[in-house]
Amino acid sequence: MTSSATPPAIGGYFEIDMGPRTGELYTDAFRFQSARAAFTSLLRHVKPSRIWMPWFNCESMLEAPAAAKVEVRRYSIDENLYPERLAEFGPADCLLYVDYFGVCGNQVARLLNEYPRERIIVDNSQAFYAPAPPCLAALYSPRKFFGVPDGGYLVTRVPIEAPEVQDVDSIDRIKPMLVRFAEGPEAGHSEAKRANLSLKGQPPMAMSALTQAMLGHLDYAGSLRRRNANFEELNCALASVNRFPLPASTPPGPLCYPFFTAVDGLHEWLIEHRVFVPRYWPGVRGAGGIESDWESTLARRCVPLPCDQRYDATDMKRVAGLVMEYLDAHEEP
């Protein structure tokens, strides 16, 4: 870091090589250490009477209204992942909607036509390539898409106060990413979990200098093309057996290819074959608080198949082949 009184450094040992400078994708955004920190700052500024949040979401997002002391109301989503009618939505309330898996752009568009858009916050943590819609705000969490240790963007016209204190913990959070390179994914797995946990319960801070530098050296256009091509490859192979409500055309650079099946055990089968699929989100319940709630079923039955920029058509064929092999051997209930 340099202050105005310190001349820029020339010479000495090298920084890690990050490749050509490309510039960040969201240059006008407020920069934080995480999406939930961005959400906290927004809520503190806007002070809605209540924030409506989906049952189907990452639990960490509840940290924000707790820290900002905003009352939370929860809502259910239907089989198209669209919010059930909110008869009690008040003029001073806000609503958070998630562009799930980066494939729910149509639902976002519909929401903005049915609710006051200046009260809508779109959580694009799973939709890095979805531009911020014309609404109160959009949130982004770049580490779910790229090899960066943390970070959160907030795109809004609301003049929130940017945090003064800057996060300095990226240097620790980057360690599992280096271990993955050196020793493979299994070796860094528990460290990666710890790195994720270290973002919990933190006050909003400015994005670290390291993360911001890394975000300025990514091939955004190339990654977008690769994600789209990989998504299409999986869709070609699996659309006929996938029960997930996908849009008719390929969404922009989705997080993954969400595959919904009534067959148990696909997550475990894929992991056994070193296709590491996460769970969004274990333990989630809906309004009923029981396992048969739609949200809970979605969490158990939806397998997010990787389609990111690290992979190509050969990898996608392997993933689709494993899925088909498992389905062929297991009857749907």
Binding region for ligand PLP (CB under 6 A) = 34-36, 57-58, 60-61, 98, 123, 125-126, 141, 152, 199
168 backbone dihedrals φ, ψ, rounded to 5°: -125, 10
Q: Do the Cβ atoms of 140 and 24 come closer than 8 Å?
A: no
10 backbone dihedrals φ, ψ, rounded to 5°: -130, 130
**Nearer of residues 34 and 230 to ligand PLP, judged by Cβ:** 34
**Nearer of residues 141 and 261 to ligand PLP, judged by Cβ:** 141
The three-state DSSP-derived secondary structure of 150-210 is: CCEEEEECCCCCCCCCECCCHHHHCHHHHHHHHHCHHHHHHHHHHHHHCCCCCCCCECCHH
Smallest separation, CB 286 to ligand PLP (Å): 16
Smallest separation, CB 81 to ligand PLP (Å): 12
Smallest separation, CB 329 to ligand PLP (Å): 31
**Nearer of residues 237 and 253 to ligand PLP, judged by Cβ:** 253
Smallest separation, CB 87 to ligand PLP (Å): 25
**Nearer of residues 205 and 246 to ligand PLP, judged by Cβ:** 205
Which stretch of DSSP H or E encloses residue 35?
helix 35-46
3-state secondary structure of 97: strand
Q: Do the Cβ atoms of 304 and 281 come closer than 8 Å?
A: no
**Nearer of residues 97 and 294 to ligand PLP, judged by Cβ:** 97
Alpha-carbon span 81 to 242, nearest angstrom = 16
**Nearer of residues 98 and 138 to ligand PLP, judged by Cβ:** 98
CB atoms within 10 A of CB 90: 13
Smallest separation, CB 207 to ligand PLP (Å): 11
Smallest separation, CB 279 to ligand PLP (Å): 11
| Residue 311 token pair | 């992979």
